[in-house]
Amino acid sequence: MELKQCINYLLTTAQHNIFQSLSNRLSQFDLTPVQYGVLDCIWKENATSPKQIAELLMLENSTVSGVLERMEKKMLIIRNISKEDRRYIQVELTDKGRDLEKDVVAVVKAFNQEVFSTMSAKEEEALKELLRKLALLDY
């Protein structure tokens, strides 16, 4: 099979392009796309534990732990460790993290509109449905 026809190549190059473009737009807030994802989990889903955030983002707990550590250094969140059970951590937004919501969500919304402007509404929905289908497959 020709490399440029391989599903892995197509998805990887598309994901890289989207990731880089979104990274550029979020850089004005000193955020990465993954950090935006964490904030979105807190803003919209009220996720307060690293485990909840990892599940929502479909990431490993260890990955989320590193992201949360970097976000805490940026003073976007606070990780509160339970005194009774040190394994339990509650994630809280700081004022800085909370104040970013409106502007960051607007930038991400505009970016999504820009990406999907190259497609018809029917193509957009078809792409989303196909990507969801691929994400749920267990090989």
Measured between alpha carbons, how far is 64 from 91 in angstroms, rounded to an integer?
A: 11
Give the pTM.
0.89
Q: Domain limits of the chain?
A: 3-136
Strands annotated E in the chain: 77-81, 89-93
Measured between alpha carbons, how far is 64 from 125 in angstroms, rounded to an integer?
A: 29
Q: What residues contact 43, with CB distance under 8 A and at least 6 apart?
A: 93, 101, 105
List pLDDT tens digits, range 97-132.
999 999 999 999 999 999 999 999 999 999 999 999
List pLDDT tens digits, range 65-97.
999 999 999 999 999 987 787 778 899 999 999
**Residue with tokens 């005194």, as numbered in its chain:** 83
Overall fold of domain 3-136: Arc Repressor Mutant, subunit A (1.10.10)
